[in-house]
Structure 1
Amino acid sequence: MNPSIFNFNNHGVRVALDTDNEPLFCLADVGQALDIKNVTVSRFKLNPKGVHSLYTLTNGGSQMLTFINEENLYRIVFRSTKPEALNFQNWVFADVLPTIRKTGSYSARQTAYEELNRLCMQEKVSKDKGSFHSQGMHRRKREKHANAKRIETCKTNIQLTFEGVTQ
């Protein structure tokens, strides 16, 4: 099997599809992306129904690797206290779940539009205010850099939702 590569935190995570076309994530790659040493099925008490051993082509030839389903991926991420996992947890807990509770669904495109509008307004207000003391200028520079990255992510998320759509 030759899985696709999904980029997470600048780490490649091999992703294969099961017989129902649901994604399976390479357990070793997930551990590396989240900076977790010795990631094993038993350590995280993963649901055995979502654990699959698949022959995968690697640099060392075809090897048997462990892949996990989405449910088990969330188990690992939500049990981790690593900063890499905390960023994902914060997004799910602060954005995805409250939105589902309030509206009954979660639309990445609508959320990206709302976030993009909020960030652009924040940039405009912050630019209009300005700051003349050194500490404020440094803080503003860091804030501007972080907002630029967030704005670019929102634009990318919005663009991804339109790929493959025919007029």
Structure 2
Amino acid sequence: MSLSIFNFNNNGVRIVFDVNGEPLFCLADVCRILNVDRTSRLLRDLDAKGMADCHILTNGGTQKVKFVNEPNLYRIIFRSNKPEALSFQNWVFSEVLPTIRKTGSYSARQTAYEELNRLCMQEKVSRDKGTFHSLGMHRRKHEKHLNAVRIETCKANLQLTFEGVAQ
């Protein structure tokens, strides 16, 4: 099996591809990144059909390493409380699933571009509008903060669509 590395927030996740060309993710790498104990109940609840033992070359020689399929990867992510996992969960629950429900499909790049453009226009209109009374200034400050967070999330989502799997 050929081994690839996926870069997630400057952490490498080893990936191999099964006979159907579907990615399998190194369980040890995923658990390390998300601070999940590999003996936890979470891992016992994974779908056994989505797990595979692969022999790969490591610094210690060829070793048997456990890999999980994409559905099991999502099971681990959705049960983690680490900020990176929560950010991914929020994106899936607030953007991906509602878009699929509304349109029947999801294109991360297009959706992120549309959202980024909408937020930038909203920020420009709000800034141009301005206000001079304290309640309006407080609302504007809060709105500006929320827009900044949303804009950064969109930029991060756009970056994810361009990174892909490194060879």
User: TM-score when scaled to structure 2?
Assistant: 0.75
Alpha-carbon distance, 1:115 to partner: 1.7
Summarize the Cα distance change of 1:42–1:156 in structure 2 as closer, same or farther, 3 Å threshold: closer
Counterpart AA for 1:118: R
**What is the aligned partner in structure 2 of residue 80 from structure 1?**
80
Which stretch of structure 1 is more off in the superposition, 27-36 or 65-74? 27-36
- Alignment root-mean-square deviation, CA: 3.2
Distance 1:10 1:157, change over 3 A: closer
Corresponding letter in the other structure for 2:109: R
CA deviation after TM superposition for structure 1 residue 62, in Å: 1.4
Residues 17-166 of structure 1 aligned to structure 2 (within 5 Å): 17-38=17-38, 43-125=43-125, 127-128=127-128, 146=149, 149-150=152-153, 152-153=155-156, 156=159, 160=162
Partner of 1:5: 5
Secondary structure in 2 matching 1:43: helix
How many pairs align? 159
The C-alpha deviation readout for 1:98-132, integer Å capped at 9, x for no partner, is: 11111111112220221220232244245546799
Q: Note closer, same or farther for the CA distance 1:122–1:35 as it changes in structure 2 (3 Å cut).
A: farther
TM-fit CA distance, 1:91: 0.6
Instruction: Report the CA distance shift for 1:157/1:14 in structure 2 as closer, same or farther (over 3 A).
Output: closer
CA distance in 1 between counterparts of 2:70 and 2:86 reads 17
TM-superposed CA distance for 1:144, in Å, is 8.4
Matched position secondary structure for 2:43: coil
Contact 1:113 1:154 in 2 (8 A): no
Whole-angstrom distance in 1 between the partners of 2:110 and 2:39:
35
Higher relative contact order, structure no. (Cα contacts within 8 Å, ≥ 6 residues apart):
2
Using the aligned pairs only, state the percent identity: 57
Aligned equivalents of 2:109 and 2:145: distance in 1?
A: 26
Q: Which residue of 1 aligns with 2:135?
A: none
SS of the residue 1:119 aligns to: helix
> The residue matched to 1:84 in structure 2 has which SS?
helix
Tell me if structure 2 keeps the 8 A contact 1:44–1:75. no
> Counterpart of 2:19 in structure 1: which amino acid?
T
TM-score normalised over the length of structure 1: 0.75
Q: Runs of 5+ in structure 2 lacking a partner?
A: 133-137
- Runs of at least 4 residues of structure 1 off by over 6 A? 138-145
C-alpha separation between the residues in 2 aligned to 1:155 and 1:63? 36
The one-letter code sitting in structure 1 at the alignment partner of 2:62 is S
